[in-house]
Amino acid sequence: MDLSRFNLITIATPLVLGAGVLLVMLVDLLSGRANRRPAQLAALAVVLAAAAVCLATWNTGGVSFFGQVSGDGFASFFNLIFLAVAFLVILAGPAYLERNAIHFGEYYSLVLVSVMGMAFMAAGTNLLVIFLGLETMSLALYVLAGFNPARQSSNEASLKYLLLGSFATGFLVFGIALVYGQIGSTDLARFSAYLAGAGDPFAGYMGAGVALLLIGLTFKMAVVPFHFWSPDVYDGAPTVVSAFMSAAPKAAAFAAALRIFYAPAESLGLPWERILWILAALTMTVGNLSALNQASIKRMLAYSSVAHAGYLLLGILAGNELGAAGILFYLASYVFMNVGAFTVAWMVNRRGEGRYDLGDFAQLGFRRPLLAAMMSVFMLGLIGIPPLAGFFGKLYVFTAAVQAGYVWLVVIAVLNSAVSVFYYLRVMVIMYMRENEALKDVDRIPATFAAVAACALMVILLGLIPGSVLDVARAAVASMP
């Protein structure tokens, strides 16, 4: 048997994560009932090891395992994003989990399993692998959303996400089955070859298949009209989990969408463009308008992440190299802003888990100037103010869309960004201008503070060297088979 067909380098990063899951469970088992610290340290070590492996095997994999996975630069780039998010939520998490008396070792193993699923979504060159990766990711997220069984809203979030998520998965699998029925394969290379050669790309079951694939993936991205779950789930889930959920799975869903649709985008033609155009415009507008008058910071950030999915769709719609590389850059900066903002939100929450009021931020600028400054970095980054990473993400994606001829859609996107200024700046206004409401002081939690500082640093750093990061992203996109 030809063993070169089983090139383990291509799946080295998820393999380390898989072994890490078992290791973390074992460490947690051995370290006594009350002590979760060893499990956390083990999980951090696993993430660092996986990141080291990811960097060492950067773009060396190529397609292997009979065309099922590709360990190219694209997979490596996304793996690094997922691992960064995992590292941050594992570092920041314990304080939150302790506060709510839900500090269990399963938190760490579930986060790692979820990231492993994402790694397969980014590396899969076969619809089956992408589907199984998505399911592995989602299953862990369903449990993490319900990680606080004492709170009704956490249970509700978990159940809602499970029911709607399984439904969306059903659509995805049905789509895969129909595509298989049409071309007799689930291989993505065959998929794009078929579409390139077909006169009518939507003949037979291809139309229904592609539509269902799109529904399955856009559900995970929280694209309107499949976004109804996201505010309730982000709001009800434990906030550390919301931070994780709003960042990494969205990146993974876009990775899978690029894997499937980037190569054949051109041959999909007009109906495809129209559908994506409408979805992008709807998502941006509904997300931003709904975020405008949210009293809860968690719901506001949830709707803001819906809006960002809309901006990101522009990159998919553009279908050119800059669009795809722009999405990679955008996601690399977006995850840090979102994880940071959600983490600050639970740090300053002083009214208990049930209420995440914007009023919690009152006077933060004077009581905790550094924390407030970092929150301002996240808010300004989410708006897309020039020196920060968020600006360049938007710039690349919007430029790509203009190059592809979608001027009106970019006009809508820019107008939407202007609307979003209102609710992001409101947080800053409250931090620096609202009167003190005699609230409890914010706890000082060194590890969590370090995680937030790392996020802020990345948002600033990516804004300082956007060109070289974009070059890496371009190379990553070009390395896709």
Partner 1 sequence: MDLLHLLNQGLFWFFVVMTVVSAIVVVFSQRVIYSAFALLFTFFGVAALYLFLAADFLAASQVLIYVGGILTLIIFGVFLTAKIYTMDIPQQTHQRYLALLPVVAMLGLLTYGLFTADWKTVTPAAEPTTKDLGQLLLTTYLVPFEVASVLLLAALIGAVRLARPMQEEDRD
Q: Which 298-327 residues touch partner 1, going by CB under 8 A?
A: none
Residue with tokens 């804004």: 463
Which of 12, 13, 16, 21 contacts partner 1 by CB under 8 A? 21
Q: Per CB under 8 A, does 135 bind partner 1?
A: yes
Q: Cβ distance 211 to 171 under 8 Å?
A: no
At 173, the amino acid letter reads V
- Between CA 405 and CA 410 the distance in angstroms is 9
Q: Per CB under 8 A, does 271 bind partner 1?
A: no
CB-based contacts of 133, cutoff 8 Å, min separation 6 = 117, 118, 119, 120, 121, 122, 123, 124, 252, 256
Give the up-direction half-sphere exposure of residue 172: CA atoms within 13 A in the CB hemisphere: 24
Q: Which 70-109 residues touch partner 1, going by CB under 8 A?
A: 101-102, 104, 106, 109
Q: Cβ distance 247 to 451 under 8 Å?
A: no
Least distance in angstroms from the C-beta of 462 to partner 1: 31
Size of the site for partner 1 (CB under 8 A): 47
Which of 41, 45, 128, 425 contacts partner 1 by CB under 8 A? 128
- Between CA 207 and CA 203 the distance in angstroms is 6
Give the nearer residue to partner 1 in terms of CB position, either 116 or 328. Answer: 116
Specify the 3-state DSSP secondary structure of 294.
Answer: coil
- Between CA 75 and CA 65 the distance in angstroms is 15
- For the chain, how far is it from start to end, CA to CA, in angstroms? 25
- Between CA 481 and CA 13 the distance in angstroms is 19
Least distance in angstroms from the C-beta of 84 to partner 1: 21
Least distance in angstroms from the C-beta of 147 to partner 1: 8
Q: Which 167-226 residues touch partner 1, going by CB under 8 A?
A: 178, 181-182, 184, 203-208, 211
Give the nearer residue to partner 1 in terms of CB position, either 244 or 391. Answer: 244
Give the nearer residue to partner 1 in terms of CB position, either 66 or 422. Answer: 66
Q: Which 387-426 residues touch partner 1, going by CB under 8 A?
A: none
Q: Per CB under 8 A, does 117 bind partner 1?
A: yes
CB-based contacts of 121, cutoff 8 Å, min separation 6 = 130, 133, 134, 137, 252, 253, 255, 256, 259
Give the nearer residue to partner 1 in terms of CB position, either 69 or 332. Answer: 69
Least distance in angstroms from the C-beta of 166 to partner 1: 12
Which of 13, 57, 79, 126 contacts partner 1 by CB under 8 A? 126
- Between CA 69 and CA 47 the distance in angstroms is 21
- Between CA 339 and CA 242 the distance in angstroms is 8
Least distance in angstroms from the C-beta of 113 to partner 1: 4
Which of 3, 4, 30, 33 contacts partner 1 by CB under 8 A? 33
Specify the 3-state DSSP secondary structure of 403.
Answer: helix
Least distance in angstroms from the C-beta of 311 to partner 1: 26
Give the interface with partner 1 as residue ranges (CB under 8 A). 6, 11, 18, 21, 25, 33, 65-66, 68-69, 101-102, 104, 106, 109-110, 113-114, 116-117, 120, 126, 128-129, 132-133, 135-136, 139-140, 142-143, 146-147, 149-150, 178, 181-182, 184, 203-208, 211
